[in-house]
Amino acid sequence: MAWVLVVLAGLVEIVFAVSMKQSHGFTRLWWTVLLCASGALSFGLLAYAVKTLPVGVAYAVWTGLGAAGTVAVGIWAFNESANAGKLLSIGLVLIGIVGLRLYEH
């Protein structure tokens, strides 16, 4: 169950990052509200998960999913570049996440 919470927290972290961009420096109210709510939810889910998971592994998976997912959303929704180096780097992050999960103990 804790791993499900970490993955969910990573997905909510993507919402947090996109909301940060869309808030335009906290000048758009509803994006700012979503930013604060998603940040709190993401941290809360992670905090609950690390009660039973190793903190280093859980934190690395959380940040890796959030980072890789945010890059993917940037490419898809904001027309950010999708060059081979960027895609390879995202793939390496995801491979690292899987490795951390497989070898957590």
Give, for all 105 residues of the chain, the pLDDT tens digit.
Answer: 999 999 999 999 999 999 999 999 999 999 999 999 999 999 999 999 999 999 999 999 999 999 999 999 999 999 999 999 999 999 999 999 999 888 876
Domains in the chain, number: 1
Please report the pLDDT score of residue 100 as a whole number. Answer: 87
Q: Within the chain, where are the H helices?
A: 2-22, 29-49, 55-77, 84-102
Q: DSSP letters along 69-85, please? A: HHHHHHHHHS-----HH
Domain that holds residue 31: 2-102
